[in-house]
Amino acid sequence: MMNCYFIVSALPTVDWFTGAPLTLSKLLSEFSLELEPFKKNVNTLILRNKLIDIADNYTKLFDMEDIPEFLTIYFNNNKTPLDRQNNMEALYVAYYEYLSQSRCKFIARYGQFECTLRSVLAAIRAKRAGLSLEKHTSTCKELKELILQNQTLTDFGLKDVFNEIYQVLEAFDKDIWHRERAIDKIRYDYVSDTYPGNPFTDDTIYAYIVRLSIVERWQTLNKEQGKQYIHSLINEEKPE
């Protein structure tokens, strides 16, 4: 508890509007000793930032102390660089399913939230593109059945199980850049608001890392990267 108190008290404020006061790498470097007791869970969270690099270069797997099973399965199912490039969403889904099985309550709940969010995003995109929701919505059986049973409804019957459904729907009224910003803001708010109570716990540290990663990504996105990002999003939304 004392270790959490020191770390949380020393963390500079991360704000969606004013940006990140430091980079994630600097945070991990400056607090390396203090974060040591939480190393396993921290590494699990920051793995998300490395997925693209790992997919591009499988040798980066060998830098990991423990290779999660979902990565082994992904590489077995996607053996060529082109396969992996075309199936990045499957990698992210597998990652968040991996989080949802964590023994850490924060990580498990965050993983479950992301699985639901990505399923909702996939369902909205498929419906708007006139694609089969059965084929293009991959999620837990119960949620998928609920979406399919209510696919004629705007909210897919999710208003009682996914509080953010209307925020997500509103995001789709924006252009693609501001839509992605709005969706990331939903993520940011979720980890900011879902864990009230004693702030001096490891949950606060994990939430801080997630928020910092989200804000830093947008803060460091330069013009050329922005063009590439928009291009990737447009390609992602093209019907197959």
In order, the DSSP letters of 116-162 are HHHHHHHHHHHHHTT--HHHH--S-HHHHHHHHHTTTSTTTT-TTT-
Residues forming a β-bridge with 19: 15
26 inside domain = no
- Please provide the average confidence, as pLDDT, over all residues in the chain: 87
34 within 8 A of 7, measured Cβ to Cβ: yes
Residue 96 within a domain: yes
Q: Is the pLDDT of residue 129 over 50?
A: yes
**Looking at this protein, which amino acid is placed at residue 81?**
P
- Tell whether 217 is covered by a domain: yes
Q: Which residue has 């980890």 as its token pair?
A: 191
Q: Which among 49, 55, 101 is positioned nearest to 81, based on CA atoms?
A: 55
Q: Which of 44-48, 130-134, 223-227 has the lowest mean pLDDT?
A: 223-227
Tens-digit pLDDT profile for residues 63-119: 777 889 999 999 999 988 889 988 898 899 999 999 999 999 999 999 999 999 999
43 lies in some domain:
yes
In a domain, 224, yes or no: yes
Both tokens assigned to 98? 């991996």
Range of the domain at 109: 2-9+38-237
pTM here? 0.88
Residue 32: inside a domain:
no
Number of domains in the chain: 1
What are the structure tokens assigned to 88, written together?
Answer: 């990045």
- Classify residue 154: in a domain, yes or no: yes
Q: Whose structure tokens read 């600097």?
A: 26
- Does 33 reside within a domain? no
